[in-house]
Amino acid sequence: MGDIVGNLKTIRGRIEAAALRAGRDPASVTLVAVSKTHPAGRVREAIGAGQAVFGENRIQEALPKIEALAGLNARWHLIGHLQGNKARQAAGRFELIHSVDSPELIRELDKRAAAAGVKQKILLQINVAGEASKFGAAPDEITSLLDALSRAPNLIPEGLMTIPPLTDDPEASRPHFKRLRELLNGVRAKQPSFGSQLSMGMSDDYEVAIEEGATLVRVGTAIFGER
């Protein structure tokens, strides 16, 4: 698993095959290489192999890496839980924040984006399986999130994100991915300006996610090896 270049090549091939199986354009799927816990040097290797988008979980870990690699062709996404008191550090530092899951966080991020003079792209993280231990809003909280977003002119809602329950069987994730797609369809029927991105699928189930409509897959271990 040490061969980042080879792993990326394999994964890109699988992404393409999964997209074609589903009758989708492979270019409609973006690979987010999840580099959390891996040092900047490993990220540089991936950039050298043509990987452009990277996902990090924690602001404290991400910001030094972003700085270390400034000037290279890398774009950064925040995929991990964001606490309100870290919103100031996050606003404007990430191309996309995948993990917005409460009206309070929407209000705080909007304020911080305004102060930074940026329009911040975000996804709403939805806990489709209703797991008590997980971050993410419940599906029936989406209305209140949309309400908060309607008063957050500095945030651009690009779509939805989910993390299904941990499992060894990729097929077990399929109903959760399908559900997220249906939720997005519902949101866009009511609010056509809401974006159409679906962030779903990780190392073990990204192909299933693509078959179910993922436009952003977040893959760490299969690229960089075990953490």
Ligand X SMILES: *Cc1c(COP(=O)(O)O)cnc(C)c1O
- Interface residues with ligand X (CB under 6 A)? 34, 36, 57, 79-80, 163, 202-203, 218-222
Helix, strand, or coil (residue 34): strand
Please state the closest distance from residue 11 (CB atom) to ligand X, in A: 10
**Residue among 80 and 92 whose Cβ is closer to ligand X:** 80
The DSSP letter of residue 165 is P
**Residue among 91 and 202 whose Cβ is closer to ligand X:** 202
Helix, strand, or coil (residue 63): helix
- Residue 219 to residue 167: CA distance in whole angstroms: 16
- Residue 185 to residue 86: CA distance in whole angstroms: 31
CB contact at 8 A, 162 and 209: no
Task: Give the residue from 117, 138, 134 showing the smallest Cα distance to 183.
Answer: 138
Please state the closest distance from residue 171 (CB atom) to ligand X, in A: 16
Return the residue nearest ligand X (CB atom): 220
- Report, in angstroms and rounded to the nearest whole number, the Rg of the chain calculated over CA atoms: 17
**Residue among 8 and 222 whose Cβ is closer to ligand X:** 222
**Residue among 187 and 222 whose Cβ is closer to ligand X:** 222
Please state the closest distance from residue 223 (CB atom) to ligand X, in A: 8
**Residue among 65 and 154 whose Cβ is closer to ligand X:** 65
Please state the closest distance from residue 66 (CB atom) to ligand X, in A: 17
**Residue among 89 and 203 whose Cβ is closer to ligand X:** 203
* Token pair belonging to 134: 């997980």
**Residue among 93 and 154 whose Cβ is closer to ligand X:** 93
Please state the closest distance from residue 225 (CB atom) to ligand X, in A: 9
Please state the closest distance from residue 201 (CB atom) to ligand X, in A: 8
Helix, strand, or coil (residue 157): strand
- Residue 2 to residue 186: CA distance in whole angstroms: 42
Task: Give the residue from 30, 44, 28, 33 showing the smallest Cα distance to 7.
Answer: 33
Please state the closest distance from residue 59 (CB atom) to ligand X, in A: 13
Q: Tell me the H-state helices in 37-81.
A: 40-48, 59-68
Cβ-based neighbours of 208, under 8 Å, separated by 6 or more: 18, 170, 171, 173, 174, 177, 201
